[in-house]
Each structure stands twice: as structure tokens, then as C-alpha cells.
Amino acid sequence: MIYRRLGKTDLMVSAIGFGGIPIQRISREEASNVMKRASELGINYIDTARGYGVSEEYIGEALKGSRDKWIIATKSMSRTKELMQKDIETSLKNLQTDYIDLYQIHNPKDESVLNEVINEGGALEALLEAKSQGKIRHIGVTIHSIGTLKVAVEKGVFETIMFPYSLVETQAEEVFKRARELDLGIIAMKPMAGGVITDASLAMRYILQNGDVTIAIPGMRDIKEVEQNALAASDFKPLSKEELEKCREIANSLGETFCRRCGYCGPCTKGLDIPMNFTLKLYHDNYDLQDWALERYKALQFHAEDCIECGKCELKCPYDLPIRDMLKEVKKTFKF
Ligand code: SF4
Ligand code: SF4
């Protein structure tokens, strides 16, 4: 296994980490077995969230007796100090530990939310307090939009950033360079592009060969997936010319159907978070997380059905996606 320093946190993490979203759809026992195998193969980083159903809880149980072998990262959507304080306590209880290695602000969607979190009375205050008390060790942020990412990198308050990155979602590569200059740890989420890439070896090695990125965290739900993903970092070989060509072919084949979450289509006339609507549909269709995706969808302020089909977003999408038609599919998927 390759180990890398996670930016200024100085944590030495395995280059492949364990994405904990799928834990919520397997049993406690299966979660424990899958994590045990991951640990045997050298994986020492696990990512979860307050919002991933029973994921924190199952991970907490699986970690009994082996807490010191793992670097635990979790996150919360809380935006105020008071709510974040409660979430930190809940995470500590669920994870059955007295410290969490990395606590992240989960997906501030734009600069105004980011400022709400950072300003007086915001969630960051609770994280800084918890850090001074030893309850958490480091503070990071997870982001989906490139515009918010650029702002967050320069804020000077985060030690790590998590952002979607894969062979079909490369929009953040320049920002990653800047983040690396600032010694931020860079965590690649959605390395299989939400399930649309099926070749784990290509997907992981594409990310591993970008020296700006510290760690990729594919979601894993069984031992076969753990072994496939771990192999990419235990027996790492750079991609050959032919394999790089295959990556380009995969990216091209997704051309007119796949949202790269670049955010250039915004702002939407009706306030929709367009890429998040598509992301939740991916979770629904490819991750076997129907109920969870529906709950997340319901929690959005605006939904696909609010689209008035003005078409302004399509003029700005660099991939010429038929956003209005795609939103109709989202609407069909999430009926409530
Ligand atoms: S077409 Fe729909 S999604 Fe696009 S900007 Fe108009 S209202 Fe928003
Ligand atoms: S719809 Fe197009 S512009 Fe909007 S986030 Fe997706 S790929 Fe980017």
C-alpha cells in the first residue's frame, strides 16, 4: 500500500481510503468484515458522515479494539455553532471513540454558505473549540462546486478539501495545484464518478498518478470491491499510453449524458442546485440507495419539478447537456 501525508494534517494515509456511504446498506456484521479486510490490505482511512444513515454507528462497532489502526473522517451539514456542537458529540458517540481525526464541513453549496459557517456563531467555531479540547484533530471541508472550491482553498481555515475527481471529472485539477501549494490535503471523492466507471483499476490508478491528490475514497460494500481497489495502490503501475486512451474513450462515451458537476450552468433562474439533482439521481440509480437519495432530494430547497424550462442553464453548460430533459428524468425518479 502507498501511504501519503495528508497535507498539513501530517496524517499518513493510505492512498486508497474507505468511502463509508455504502456501509448503510449492508449489515453490521458485513460492515465489520469488510473493514477488517480493508485493514489487512493496508487501508487506514475511513470516511463517513452524520448524513450517511447508520454508517457512523456500524463503523464505530467495527472499530472496537482496532481504533488506533484507523484514521477516521466524518462530516456534518450543520452550519451553526450550536448544531455543530451537537453533531460532534453524536459522531463521537456513534463512532465509539474519544477523538475524530478529521471533521469536515459537509458540502457548503456556495460562498454565502461558506461564509455563514466561518463567521461568528458559525459551525467552524464549534470545530475549533472541539479541536482545542482534543475531541477532533483536524478540520476540513467537502465541496461539489468548482466556484466554491476556489474560494474555500483560499480561506486559510481548512486543512483538507474533498472534491469529486475521476477520469471523467477533471475540472478541479488546476485548483488542486493551488491547494497543494498551500499544503492542503486533497481527498478525491466519487473516484468511480458515482458508479458510471466500472473499471476500478483504471479509475484508481488515474487518480493515484496525479501527485496533487493525496487519497481516493471509493465507496465499498463487499470484500471483492475492497480487494480490487486496494490492489491499485499496493501494486501501483502508472497508466500506459493505451490505458490513457481508454480513459479518454470512457470520458468521451459519457459526453452528452453525464453531469461533471462543474457548476458553470448556475445560477438557475429558480434557484435549483442543478448538479446536486443529478448527483442524487446517480446515487439512486447506481448505488442502491433509493430511500436515502429520496430523503436527500426532499431536503433540497428546490427540486427538478421547480424548473420552468427557461433554458438559460443549457447555454452555459460546456458539455451541452440537455439539462431540461435530464431534470425531467430526475423528476420521474423522485416522486414524493
Ligand atoms: S431551465 Fe430550469 S434548471 Fe435551467 S436555469 Fe431555467 S429553471 Fe433553472
Ligand atoms: S449541468 Fe453542465 S454546467 Fe451544470 S454542473 Fe453539470 S456539466 Fe457542469
Model confidence pLDDT, tens digit, residues 208-225: 999 999 999 999 989 999
Lowest-confidence range among 84-93, 99-108, 247-256? 247-256
Per-residue pLDDT at 255: 63
Q: Which of 259, 272, 316 to mutate to test the pocket of ligand 1 (most atoms within 8 A of CB)?
A: 272
Per-residue pLDDT at 283: 84
Q: What is the mean predicted confidence (pLDDT) over 179-193?
A: 95
Q: Is 165 part of the annotated catalytic residue set?
A: no
Q: What is the mean predicted confidence (pLDDT) over 180-189?
A: 97
265 CA from centroid of ligand 1 (Å): 9
CB 311 near ligand 1, within 6 Å: yes
Per-residue pLDDT at 145: 86
Nearest bound ligand to the CA of residue 146:
2
Q: What is the mean predicted confidence (pLDDT) over 103-117?
A: 93
Q: Which of 143, 169, 196, 265 to mutate to test the pocket of ligand 2 (most atoms within 8 A of CB)?
A: 265
CB 323 near ligand 2, within 6 Å: yes
CB 323 near ligand 1, within 6 Å: yes
Q: What is the mean predicted confidence (pLDDT) over 284-289?
A: 78
Q: Is the pLDDT of residue 288 over 80?
A: no
The one-letter amino acid at 231: L
Nearest bound ligand to the CA of residue 262:
2
Q: Which of 323, 326, 327, 329 to mutate to test the pocket of ligand 1 (most atoms within 8 A of CB)?
A: 323
Residue nearest to atom 2 of ligand 2 (CA): 317
Nearest bound ligand to the CA of residue 327:
1
Give dist(CA 1, CA 22) in Å, integer. Answer: 23
In degrees, rounded to 5, the angle at the alpha carbon of residue 126 between the alpha carbons of residues 292 and 165 is 50
283 CA from centroid of ligand 1 (Å): 22
- Under the banding of pLDDT at 50, 70 and 90, the label for residue 144 is confident
Residue nearest to atom 2 of ligand 1 (CA): 307
CB 317 near ligand 2, within 6 Å: yes
Atom of ligand 1 nearest to the CA of 267: 5
DSSP string, 276-295: HHHHHHHHHHHSS-HHHHHH
Query: Between 263 and 101, where is the model more confident?
Result: 101
Per-residue pLDDT at 33: 95
Give dist(CA 9, CA 139) in Å, integer. Answer: 9
Per-residue pLDDT at 235: 81
Per-residue pLDDT at 171: 87
Per-residue pLDDT at 48: 96
Q: Is the pLDDT of residue 306 over 80?
A: yes
150 CA from centroid of ligand 1 (Å): 24
Lowest-confidence range among 31-40, 192-201, 216-225, 270-279? 192-201
Residue 4, beta-bridge partner list: 13
CB 313 near ligand 1, within 6 Å: yes
Per-residue pLDDT at 234: 86
- Within 10 angstroms of residue 335's Cβ, the number of other Cβ atoms is 7
Reduced to 3 states (helix: H, G, I; strand: E, B; else coil), residue 335 is: coil
Tell me what the pLDDT averaged over the chain comes to: 92
Q: What is the mean predicted confidence (pLDDT) over 189-199?
A: 85
Edge-to-edge strand order for the sheet containing 45-47?
18-19, 45-47, 71-76, 100-106, 136-142, 160-164, 185-189, 215-216
Q: What is the mean predicted confidence (pLDDT) over 260-275?
A: 87
Q: Which of 264, 323, 325 to mutate to test the pocket of ligand 2 (most atoms within 8 A of CB)?
A: 264
CA distances from 30 to 2, 198, 207, 286 (A): 26, 22, 28, 20
CB 263 near ligand 2, within 6 Å: yes
CA distances from 87 to 39, 77, 78, 80, 123 (A): 27, 9, 8, 11, 10
Percentage with pLDDT > 70 across the chain:
99
Lowest-confidence range among 101-110, 132-141, 198-207, 280-289? 280-289
For the entire predicted model, the pTM comes to: 0.84
Q: Is the pLDDT of residue 325 over 90?
A: yes
Nearest bound ligand to the CA of residue 318:
2
What value does the CA radius of gyration of the chain take, rounded to a whole number of Å?
A: 19
Question: Do you know the residue count of the chain?
Answer: 336
Q: Is the pLDDT of residue 161 over 70?
A: yes
Task: Given the residues 45, 52, 165, 206, select the one marked as catalytic.
Answer: 52
156 CA from centroid of ligand 2 (Å): 28
Per-residue pLDDT at 94: 97
Per-residue pLDDT at 106: 94
CB 316 near ligand 1, within 6 Å: no
Q: Are 127 and 139 in contact (CB under 8 A)?
A: yes
Percentage with pLDDT > 90 across the chain:
74
Per-residue pLDDT at 63: 93
